[in-house]
Chains A and B, each alone.
Chain A
């Protein structure tokens, strides 16, 4: 029986757009003729059935299950209905109970109906009790084939007029078309009776059907792996350029309408005055990048400062080698401080200023030669010591007094001290008073004799003339 064009069918018949003709010798012929010829089909709405429509059960969309094809069908106890339960699982909510006797009995339908898992009492408890089908509960098959023909188009829930409040289905859920392998599977029992299918992108979401061959037989089994989303995993609406929000239903077939509910929630649009400028390489506009750039500039600036301070760092290029030079220089300076403090500790007992005359009576050739040649090596515009004159910067220890001294104009050598007329105790008091009694004098050149007054420990003042020939 080949169904013709939809325009050729009478108004009372269903417009089933079959992809291919069904073999008259198939076992499904009588069942399909009972569908078309029965007056119960007037209950179905006259809207067209899209080729991508699916059969949706009362508890959710039908998925595919993998079951053993070679398992024998369970025995069917149709004591009450007499096998006239025809297509009750196909049209559970549409066919009233008083129209059951209008279906013609089919002898081979009981075997085919036993393979369908709709009789297991999960979805149709009323029919199970009425037709005494409780024996199928314990031995229900996982899935079965509709014998012979390949049915690729099933009734859609929207054309069958199911009660969506009872079924708990959202009309905006997207369902994938069933492959034309002729298999119809039913989903397992869900927790809350509500399941959705995720809309997957092309080429990403769908997994290909895996075909496995048995060793003993050449029959092929198809596994359709489809993911079911929970109620919280709804499909996010896509914002279109014109501002409309697509509800996610696929518009395929001839004249299929978008029947999804418009939720009215639009995605927040970015402000129109905001212009995102893509930064070039090395010119990041992020605040963290700007802070890191400022930090790197500071580090490079201070490394240049250290490079100028540390001698020998001008030739160094890398920062690690420069840090090594800085560390070595700091360590050498600290070692020099320790070494010079040791030297000053050995010299410092002689700096007891009560013994200053004995210090001065030593051989001045040895004492004055390094002092005259050495200069205070500080690159300053002022004096090294705050109590010395700028002209005396070459010798940091010009301690002079205000007493007069004889000057020999023929001698052109610079002595170590110009004149010291105070006693050694007064010099000691000068050091003990924290350098408060320092008197500055001009450098007197051409001195030959320096009168030095020293006070003995018995209290008598002795005048000693020291002739320093330099």
Chain B
């Protein structure tokens, strides 16, 4: 079975519309990056900008219905504020995240999954699996979109 043509069941009912919206958001973010690039930047900085654009398009597509998207948007906005206030040397305010109570029957790998999923530190194990399923699906869609763009613009 071809890996590229393998179809997965969709937990999201709005998977098709989310898919197209995610591609639209990402291309708009790329155009915004190109518009803002008045002076030549380093490839590492552009890589970081494109990666932030990819994650922000994922978060905007998912909206506020998921906790991982809210946590991702909060993280990206905080980075933008810190980047804007870097000249002012304002002391960084550390957010205290209340960790979820780890039950004894949870597997030991659950903590690793909490670190991978955005906002997973304050989730219970049952909610963590649901958020991880949605995050995996959006992440896979984003990877496919970026791969198609790389294939389109590669020369």
Contacts and interface: CB of A to CB of B under 8 A. Distances in A.
Interface string A367-378: 100110010111
Nearest to A319: B107
B137 A380 contact: no
Nearest to A307: B133
Interface stretch (B7-15, B70-78, B91-99): B7-15
B33 A348 contact: yes
A342 to B, nearest CB: 5
Contacts of A342: 43, 47
A334 B141 CA distance: 12
A200 interface: no
B107 A302 contact: no
A187 interface: no
Which of B11, B28, B49, B149 has the most C-beta atoms of chain A within 10 angstroms of its own C-beta? B149
Given A330-B135, A431-B31, A345 B47 contact: yes
Contacts of B27: 385, 435
Given A337-B143, A380-B20, A432-B31, A374 B151 contact: yes
Contact of A371 (B3, B15, B49, B152): B152
A435 B46 contact: no
A303 interface: yes
A57 B11 CA distance: 85
A442 B141 CA distance: 27
B3 A311 contact: yes
B123 interface: no
- In this complex, the interface size class of chain B, counting residues with CB under 8 Å from chain A, is 35 or more
A290 interface: no
B31 A341 contact: no
Given A327-B112, A359-B155, A382 B24 contact: no
A330 B23 contact: no
- In this complex, the interface size class of chain A, counting residues with CB under 8 Å from chain B, is 35 or more
A299 B126 contact: yes
Given A320-B109, A397-B152, A348 B136 contact: no
Interface in A415-439: 431-432, 434-435
A323 B107 contact: yes
Nearest to B4: A377
A118 B5 CA distance: 104
A211 interface: no
A461 to B, nearest CB: 24
B144 interface: yes
B51 A380 contact: no
A377 B116 contact: no
B139 A334 contact: yes
A384 B129 contact: no
A216 interface: no
Interface of B: 3-9, 11, 15-17, 19-21, 23-24, 27-28, 30-35, 43, 46-51, 54-55, 107-110, 112-113, 116-117, 125-126, 129-130, 132-133, 135-137, 139-155
